[in-house]
């Protein structure tokens, strides 16, 4: 059981680390809609219509997402506050000094 908890803790730390690295990244979506209509010889009635829609998605660096930063800080703060408090249930949470500093 301890090995599983340790593996989950490491996975959580990796996710938090990744989230911190991605705070200044966001997804930009560009929609392009192109409409072509062909008319009859007199130019009065449409004979055919073709609509082409494309979407481009890209990851862009920008300003730091402060709402995500607050969520990450809250998670770290909660982990820090619970450091060692769950010992009654047989679970011990131990945070590194680096994580504790991030919570401050």
Helix axes 66-81, 2-21, angle to 10 degrees: 150
Question: Do residues 20 and 31 both lie within one domain?
Answer: no
Half-sphere exposure in the Cβ direction for 99 (13 Å, CA): 21
Residues 39 and 51 placed together within one structural domain of the fold: yes
> Residue 69: how many CA atoms within 13 Å on its side-chain side?
10
Mean residue pLDDT of the chain comes to 77
pLDDT at residue 34 tops 90: yes
Q: What is the pLDDT of residue 23?
A: 79
Highest mean pLDDT among 30-44, 52-66, 89-103: 30-44
Same-domain check for residues 83 and 103: yes
Name the percent of the chain lying above pLDDT 70: 75
Q: Note down the domain range covering 37.
A: 26-62
In the structure, what pLDDT confidence band is assigned to residue 26 with cuts at 50, 70 and 90? Answer: confident
Distance CA 67, CA 54 (A): 30
Are 41 and 91 found together in one domain? Answer: no
Q: Quick one: 67 and 19 in the same domain?
A: yes
- What Rg, from alpha-carbon coordinates, does the chain have? 26
What's the average model confidence in pLDDT over 21-47? 88
**64 pLDDT above the threshold of 80:** no
């Amino acid at each position: 059981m301890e090995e599983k908890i340790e593996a989950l803790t490491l996975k959580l730390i990796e996710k938090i680390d990744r989230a911190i690295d991605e705070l200044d990244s966001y997804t930009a979506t560009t929609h392009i809609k192109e409409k072509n209509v062909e008319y009859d010889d007199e130019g009065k009635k449409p004979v055919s219509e073709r609509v082409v829609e494309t979407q481009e998605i890209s990851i862009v660096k920008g300003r730091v997402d402060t709402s995500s930063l607050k969520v990450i800080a809250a998670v770290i703060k909660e982990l820090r506050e619970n450091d060692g408090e769950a010992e009654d249930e047989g679970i011990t949470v131990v945070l590194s000094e680096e994580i504790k500093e991030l919570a401050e």
